[in-house]
Amino acid sequence: MASMISPELALVDPVLRTDALRALPHVEPFDFLRFKEPQPTYAHSRRPPLALAAAVYAASSLARVAVMDGLFVLGLAAAVLAVNVLH
Protein backbone atom coordinates (compact mmCIF):
# COMPACT_ATOMS: atom_id res chain seq x y z
CA MET A 1 0.00 0.00 0.00
CA ALA A 2 1.51 3.31 -1.05
CA SER A 3 1.62 6.10 1.48
CA MET A 4 0.98 9.73 0.71
CA ILE A 5 3.45 10.78 3.42
CA SER A 6 6.83 12.11 2.39
CA PRO A 7 9.61 9.48 2.86
CA GLU A 8 11.80 12.12 4.49
CA LEU A 9 9.42 12.20 7.45
CA ALA A 10 10.47 8.64 8.30
CA LEU A 11 13.90 10.05 9.14
CA VAL A 12 12.54 12.23 11.93
CA ASP A 13 9.35 10.56 13.12
CA PRO A 14 9.98 7.37 15.14
CA VAL A 15 6.51 5.94 14.45
CA LEU A 16 6.83 6.46 10.67
CA ARG A 17 10.37 5.04 10.79
CA THR A 18 9.13 1.92 12.58
CA ASP A 19 6.28 1.51 10.09
CA ALA A 20 8.64 2.00 7.15
CA LEU A 21 11.13 -0.58 8.48
CA ARG A 22 8.29 -3.03 9.14
CA ALA A 23 7.07 -2.60 5.54
CA LEU A 24 10.46 -3.61 4.09
CA PRO A 25 10.74 -7.21 2.85
CA HIS A 26 12.66 -9.67 5.01
CA VAL A 27 16.22 -10.28 3.86
CA GLU A 28 18.40 -13.10 5.16
CA PRO A 29 21.87 -12.02 6.28
CA PHE A 30 24.55 -12.80 3.69
CA ASP A 31 21.89 -13.87 1.18
CA PHE A 32 23.81 -12.02 -1.53
CA LEU A 33 26.67 -14.55 -1.15
CA ARG A 34 24.51 -17.56 -2.01
CA PHE A 35 24.55 -18.93 -5.54
CA LYS A 36 21.21 -18.79 -7.24
CA GLU A 37 19.97 -20.67 -10.25
CA PRO A 38 20.68 -18.71 -13.44
CA GLN A 39 17.66 -17.14 -15.02
CA PRO A 40 16.61 -18.78 -18.28
CA THR A 41 17.56 -16.85 -21.36
CA TYR A 42 14.61 -16.28 -23.60
CA ALA A 43 16.39 -14.60 -26.47
CA HIS A 44 19.57 -16.25 -27.65
CA SER A 45 21.92 -13.51 -28.77
CA ARG A 46 24.32 -14.53 -31.49
CA ARG A 47 27.91 -13.64 -30.72
CA PRO A 48 30.73 -13.68 -33.26
CA PRO A 49 33.48 -16.28 -32.90
CA LEU A 50 36.28 -15.34 -30.54
CA ALA A 51 38.91 -15.23 -33.31
CA LEU A 52 36.83 -12.78 -35.34
CA ALA A 53 36.15 -10.60 -32.30
CA ALA A 54 39.87 -10.58 -31.43
CA ALA A 55 40.83 -9.67 -35.00
CA VAL A 56 38.34 -6.80 -35.13
CA TYR A 57 39.49 -5.55 -31.73
CA ALA A 58 43.17 -5.71 -32.78
CA ALA A 59 42.44 -3.86 -36.04
CA SER A 60 40.48 -1.13 -34.28
CA SER A 61 43.20 -0.77 -31.64
CA LEU A 62 45.91 -0.47 -34.28
CA ALA A 63 43.87 2.12 -36.16
CA ARG A 64 43.34 4.10 -32.98
CA VAL A 65 47.07 4.01 -32.17
CA ALA A 66 47.94 5.07 -35.73
CA VAL A 67 45.52 8.00 -35.61
CA MET A 68 46.71 9.15 -32.18
CA ASP A 69 50.38 8.83 -33.17
CA GLY A 70 49.65 10.72 -36.38
CA LEU A 71 47.98 13.51 -34.43
CA PHE A 72 50.96 13.65 -32.06
CA VAL A 73 53.44 13.89 -34.95
CA LEU A 74 51.34 16.58 -36.64
CA GLY A 75 51.12 18.54 -33.39
CA LEU A 76 54.84 18.25 -32.83
CA ALA A 77 55.54 19.35 -36.42
CA ALA A 78 53.20 22.32 -35.96
CA ALA A 79 55.01 23.28 -32.76
CA VAL A 80 58.42 23.08 -34.47
CA LEU A 81 57.12 25.12 -37.40
CA ALA A 82 55.69 27.75 -35.05
CA VAL A 83 58.99 28.01 -33.17
CA ASN A 84 60.94 28.35 -36.43
CA VAL A 85 58.55 30.99 -37.79
CA LEU A 86 58.66 33.04 -34.57
CA HIS A 87 62.44 32.94 -34.36
Q: Is it the case that residue 47 has pLDDT exceeding 80?
A: no
- Say which residue, 64 or 16, is predicted with more confidence: 64
Q: Where are the domains of the chain?
A: 7-34+48-86
Overall average pLDDT of the 12-23 stretch? 88
pTM for the predicted model, two decimal places: 0.41
- Say which residue, 69 or 30, is predicted with more confidence: 69
d(Cα 35, Cα 49) in Å, to the nearest integer? 29
Q: Is it the case that residue 35 has pLDDT exceeding 90?
A: no
Query: pLDDT value at position 82?
Result: 95
